[in-house]
Amino acid sequence: MGTQFTDIYNRFLGKITDDMYMELTPEDTMRDLRSLLIDAIPGFEFPRKILDDFSIETLVVREDLVEEGDFIIGVVWNTPEEEDDTIPDVYIERSHFNVDLTSEEINILALLMMCGWLQRQVTSIENTRMKYSGSDFKMTSQANHLAKLLNLLSECQRQSFHMQRLYKRRRINSDGYIESNWDVLRNGIFGDYEVRH
């Protein structure tokens, strides 16, 4: 099994503050996070791994068989005839990519999820603005909030683009160190140039 979706969810949740997730049921939270992640995948322009190869899994397992990274959605309550000392079953999300992602790839996907989340916030306020006239909208300070969200969305998109550009320009060498892959680009461009002349 490759990288679990919860690794990306946790990185994403560390980048935002949203009380909405406290109000949602665990199942609704999981669905929303999964939707944001799957929507983020096409935004990763040139991944080195196939990101469309993933498995969506929701299972019922005994509580003592829960693995690190499992997203616990809820407890399956015991039936009245069961003894009190039995280990309860839990409903878990164990969705995962079928490849192992690097920390850098996880971070890029989390940033792309954040961009999707911010776009949702902007759209929500845009819908609110359409319901009110110009002066009413300004009085509620929604306009100021919208402007800040638009700036934050722009910064998130810039940061995502920057991280993807860095990702494309470096690789890990045989010693495990990060190095520039400029030599591949240089040999590709200048190598052809020298052959023609």
Distance of alpha carbon 90 from alpha carbon 72, whole angstroms: 7
Q: Are 180 and 169 in contact (CB under 8 A)?
A: yes
Q: Which residue would you say has higher pLDDT here, 142 or 43?
A: 43
Q: Which residue would you say has higher pLDDT here, 17 or 125?
A: 17
Distance of alpha carbon 104 from alpha carbon 163, whole angstroms: 8
Q: Are 4 and 69 in contact (CB under 8 A)?
A: yes
In this predicted structure, what is the pLDDT of residue 195?
A: 43
Instruction: Give the pLDDT band (50/70/90) at residue 143.
Output: confident
Q: Tell me: the pLDDT tens digits for 13-67?
A: 998 877 777 788 888 888 999 999 999 999 999 999 999 999 999 889 988 899 8
Q: Tell me: the pLDDT tens digits for 83-100?
A: 666 788 898 999 999 999
User: In sequence order, what E strands does the chain have?
Assistant: 54-55, 58-62, 71-76, 89-93, 96-97, 170-172, 178-180
Q: Directed axis angle between helix 103-131 and helix 142-168, to 10°? A: 160
Q: Which two tokens stand for residue 61?
A: 């397992």
